[in-house]
Structure 1
């Protein structure tokens, strides 16, 4: 699953990218979009992460390789905090975690006291590629949360820039809350100030790869309402990637990216 949020847009005579429109249905967006399952996205992500795995590159995000890492310090903080509260290393689900991008980004911090297993839940073609190219003793791949919890007692769920790419996100959020995992971390999640969620067409910068797909902007209160009965919101925090604090819809600064750390009520 593609996980990029791009805070700026091209204008004038340059091709535009970013978020556009206010669509009534997922089907309406798909009439203009390529969708998420394009083989080029998986192939470019796989090739970039293989370079990270082999040591040829330092860091990959959204299939682009970098020579310097940007660390998600809120995630690192709350992983360590959660492990300390549990008194044991965590079994983590990374929902929509691509081929393990975040895992490789923070692998050096996932010591035996913090993380026991890192379990990516993804689309089938990502899972197949992940198992073939990246799976190891700590990193695992699954087609669904239900499949993963058959093997692991999950403590911590990471949802980083993925829920806004689901066709029916509120159904997923309701199901997620019902599992009553100990800790949930939303990171790089797209919101706007309107009362209702907004469905847009996201056009990816061409230097990443040629693609477009549906993308939601949530009402923050509405999203968090799914967890009001079972969870406490311990902290909220801005995105760690520069440029995502403000997101542009139809070339206007109409949205923002935010993260939340939730702990299950006892």
Structure 2
């Protein structure tokens, strides 16, 4: 089951309540959809109980689960293993499975579903991102959507408002996804939407946005701000996996392929931006996402988080 509430999307700062997309009551879903019995069993028994740690110490049990979790292609969101680095996690992916996101199967996941992004039926975390974007995007704004797939947040934004004059939205993605993104943008006659394969290739950045991709990257935090010659005034990060304990890598089987998946130490993650001169303006929960690694109950992340950082003068 889901739990829903209603929130009003505010008008952008540079538009009135009567403008296109600047109004609307939306249904905000704050809990996950009903999961299958097996998925619930895995999360509650194999990943988040004392029994889970005990079972993991039985010879071959965790390896047997790994054969199940890593070879399925019809179930997304299965996690497996704890690793000390991206390289170690990558090496654990079976040779018969696609690795990472730079492949045609992964790039095409959302190609034919752009119009299914119902603007009045969104997740809580997506509302938070739109809430801040509608306030800080201005004429001439340059936004980098780092790991933005084929432009999903761009198309969602357009359900509520048009981009201001001369604003530019640049998605930085892997080559296969960039190719699909450009094809979809041409099909949709998208305005002011561009694609690049390197964040350094984008000349200006007023807003740095990343909505759920940082933990899939070999280098992100630390390292994200160092990729830019100048620090952006605004940073919006969504769907971030955090733990109060030690940071680690795991593997996520998302269906078409398997990817290394990072869980950050919370204090280190926030401190990285604060030490670079940013103020944490807002933080929100992402209850629709979690990370449960079977047989490692101490590693459980029951809900992800989102952040808005603003550079201090």
In structure 2, relative to structure 1, the CA distance for the partners of 1:145 and 1:249 (3 Å cut) is: same
Q: What is residue 42 of structure 1 aligned with on the other side?
A: 107
In structure 2, relative to structure 1, the CA distance for the partners of 1:67 and 1:74 (3 Å cut) is: closer
Deviations 1:170-224 (CA, angstroms, capped at 9, x unpaired): 3432415763101000101111120x311001122xxxx3321100000111112
Runs of 4+ in 1 over 3 A off after TM superposition: 6-9, 66-69, 112-115
In structure 2, relative to structure 1, the CA distance for the partners of 1:182 and 1:176 (3 Å cut) is: farther
State the distance in 2 between where 1:171 and 1:261 align.
Answer: 17
Q: Which has the larger radius of gyration?
A: 2
**Counterpart contact for 2:84–2:249, Cα < 8 Å:** yes
* TM value normalised by structure 1: 0.76
State the distance in 1 between where 2:308 and 2:139 align.
Answer: 19
Q: 1:70 aligns with which of 113, 122, 143?
A: 122
**Counterpart contact for 2:154–2:169, Cα < 8 Å:** yes
Question: Gaps (5+ residues) in structure 1?
Answer: 1-5, 53-57, 60-65
- Correspondences of 1:1-266 after superposition (within 5 Å): 10=39, 11=41, 16=69, 17-33=77-93, 34-36=98-100, 37-49=102-114, 52=115, 58-59=116-117, 69-70=121-122, 72-83=126-137, 88=139, 90-113=141-164, 116-135=167-186, 136-149=190-203, 153-175=204-226, 179-194=230-245, 196-204=246-254, 209-228=255-274, 229-239=276-286, 242-244=287-289, 246-250=290-294, 252=297, 254-255=300-301, 256-266=303-313
Q: How many residues align?
A: 233
Secondary structure, counterpart of 1:184 in structure 2: strand
* TM value normalised by structure 2: 0.66
State the distance in 1 between where 2:112 and 2:169 align.
Answer: 21
State the distance in 1 between where 2:194 and 2:229 align.
Answer: 23
State the distance in 1 between where 2:163 and 2:105 align.
Answer: 35
RMSD over equivalenced CA pairs, Å: 2.9
Q: What is residue 4 of structure 2 aligned with on the other side?
A: none
Question: Gaps (5+ residues) in structure 2?
Answer: 1-31, 43-64, 70-76
